[in-house]
Amino acid sequence: MPGFDALYERLRPECERLIAQYEQPRSALLPIVHLFQQHEGYTSREAMRATAEMLRLTPAVVESTVSFYTLFFRKPVGRYVLQVCRGLSCTINGAEEIMAYFREKLGIGHLQTTADGLFSYEEVECLAACDRPTCMQVNLEFFYDLTPAAIDEMIEAMRGGAFPVAPMAQTRAPESTWAIAQDDQVATGRKSPGATGVARPNNAGGLGDASGVIMLDRFVNKEIAFSERSNERLVRDSRAVYDVLEDGEQHAGH
């Protein structure tokens, strides 16, 4: 991708400086991905490939790390990413009402972006600020003690360009959601077939979530024949896996 190549060239010295700070190059994974996201507004596939190459890791290692954190967005997002905590302390202090207020005010739901590309909204797990509920992050900066009046003020300031946190870079227009479709990942070999049709395979085992039980049942009852392993963990050649994924996406019409 020509645009990315120029960015990569420009950020390369900074990446090398980050790598040199650590005993193990792989320790620079998170700071490097942050750096790319800061400039691209999201963590692109090209950024993950470049990170894997620089750190001599497989793309699977980079992507599994990136997908673990709500700090990274694997698809383009809005100028302001609003992440509201739905953890226990926030929930017993009114997070349900705060989330409902955000959804109504913005007219969008969890993992969605407004049509003007200004706001992306997400409900996230504990943000480790349980002593200041209810709380959220805006472009990864913390805000506490949320009330409907504070939210009104915040949204107005963002719309008017007067919010204290800078808007995110936006190198690509966001779609209506930045959720990653699980079944597409199965089709392109990025998820094992046990996850097919399971509503939230990444949440398997979570409180009250049946996904883990459904997948375990499939293993136990041998409903799915695991004749070969997916390339989730096995890939050694970083270029090869991205070529496979890109081919898959082209065939899927993306």
Residue linked to tokens 């010295």 = 13
Helix then strand then coil, in percent of the chain rounded to 5, is 45, 10, 45
From the CB of residue 112, how many other CB atoms can be counted at a distance below 10 Å? 21
- 136 and 85 in contact (C-beta within 8 Å)? yes
Least Å distance, CB 104 to ligand FES, is 21
Minimal CB distance residue for ligand FES:
87
Looking at residue 201, what DSSP letter applies? G
Are the beta carbons of 244 and 231 closer than 8 angstroms?
Answer: yes
Name the minimum Å distance from CB 94 to ligand FES: 11
89 binds ligand FES (CB under 6 A): yes
Per the listing, tokens 């302001």 go with 80
**Interface with ligand FES, residue 129, by CB under 6 A:** yes
Q: Which of 33, 61, 77, 85 binds ligand FES (CB under 6 A)?
A: 85
Question: Is position 70 an interface residue for ligand FES (rule: CB under 6 A)?
Answer: no
Asked if 98 is part of the footprint of ligand FES (rule: CB under 6 A), the reply reads no
Residue with tokens 């190459």: 53
Contact call for residue 133 and ligand FES (CB under 6 A): yes
Residue 165 within binding range of ligand FES, rule CB under 6 A: no
Are 26 and 64 in contact, with CB atoms under 8 Å apart?
A: no
- Using rule CB under 6 A, residue 138 touches ligand FES: no
Q: Determine if 82 is a binding residue for ligand FES (CB under 6 A).
A: no
Q: In what order do the strands lie in the sheet with 141-143?
A: 112-113, 119-124, 80-85, 136-138, 141-143
One of 130, 140, 180, 214 touching ligand FES (CB under 6 A): 130
Closer residue to ligand FES in complex, CB, 148/167: 148
Counting contacts by CB under 6 A, is residue 41 touching ligand FES? no
Counting every residue written for the chain, the total comes to 254
- Closer CB to ligand FES, 133 or 189, in the complex: 133
Residue whose entry in the numeric block shows the structure tokens 């790319």: 36
Residues contacting ligand FES: total by CB under 6 A: 12
Binding positions for ligand FES, rule: CB under 6 A: 85, 87-90, 126-130, 133, 135
